[in-house]
Amino acid sequence: MPFPATAPSAHGLELERLVGERTVPQLWHENYWFRRHEIAYLTLAPLVAGPVQGSAALVVEAGSGEGYGVRLLRRAGIDRVAALDYDAAALTHARTAYPDDVTGRAVRTNLAALPLGDTTATAVTCLQVIEHLWTPGQFLAESARVLRPGGLLVVSTPNRLTFSPGLGRREKPPNPFHCREFDAAELRDLIAERFQVIDLLGVRHGPRLRAWQAEHGDPIAAQLAASPDRWPARVSELVRSVTAADFILDPLTGDADPTVLDLVVLARWVEL
């Protein structure tokens, strides 16, 4: 079940403080970015939930942020979710915004040192987080350590080729919140050092957003061109109306597809 349409929140000031590299679904002007993230959860959460049923199953939401990912995983039928994040303010907000889903599950931690025992998790999800990590290899090593044999790893990240055109591999991203951005082959190869890669997927604009772009120009550029209070009416109307159904998540047909906005890797922990 997707989230309801966004609307102004009573704690707008608190939410605005979280905005930067955290998408906040309660803020209308963040709706495009939230829905672009939501499509990955709505598509992949049932895949994660399938093999993790039972009281002993544990899914780790690595970089739980604002908290909506934990809620979407719980809605998919996953009973035990550990919400891990380094930002204390984000965890405090998540406990308030999603008390039934996050309270008692949230732990402040560095993702390079997961606070879990060996082979204790059935899945690790890390969506739109790995680009923020100084040591992504260490996070992946920790994920391998805590996963049970056959455990599932799900990682998503912006596609460097479309998010930061012209940026080379391992060059410092212009986005101040990002430590490193990835192209499809780079992300796949990094994860394949420790995991068996099952699938490489991409998030793209669906038909309605492509039609809007053909008529009005790039909707991302339109949002970045001015603050939300100065957006043209057509941009505001589009942002408010976007749903997860306006995005497509499907297998990549090549490593350098210019229409791919976000990359998603599904992998399993096996002895390599």
H-type alpha helices, the chain:
12-18, 31-49, 68-75, 88-97, 99-102, 136-146, 160-163, 184-192, 207-216, 219-224, 233-241
Could you please report the per-residue DSSP string of 87-101?
-HHHHHHHHHHSHHH
Between strands 196-205 and 262-268, the pairing is antiparallel
Please, what is the Cα angle at 129 between 123 and 131, to 5 degrees? 130
pLDDT number for residue 10: 42
Q: How do residues 112-132 score in pLDDT, each as one tens digit?
A: 999 999 999 999 999 999 999
| Residue 86 Cα to chain centre, angstroms | 16
pLDDT number for residue 1: 54
Res. 9: pLDDT tops 50: no
Q: Which residues pair with 202 in a beta bridge?
A: 250, 263
Please give the model's pTM, rounded to 2 decimal places. 0.91
3-class secondary structure, 79: coil
Between CA 170 and CA 178 the distance in angstroms is 11
Is residue 52 a contact partner of residue 123, using CB atoms and an 8 Å limit? yes
CA distances, 183 to each of 8, 127, 166, 227 (Å): 35, 15, 12, 29
51: pLDDT confidence band, cut at 50, 70 and 90?
low
In the block, tokens 């099952």 appear at 198
Region 4-22 average pLDDT: 49
Q: Domains of the chain by range and CATH?
A: 12-268 (3.40.50.150)
Least confident range of 99-103, 147-151, 178-182, 251-255: 251-255
Is residue 15 a contact partner of residue 27, using CB atoms and an 8 Å limit? yes
pLDDT number for residue 255: 77
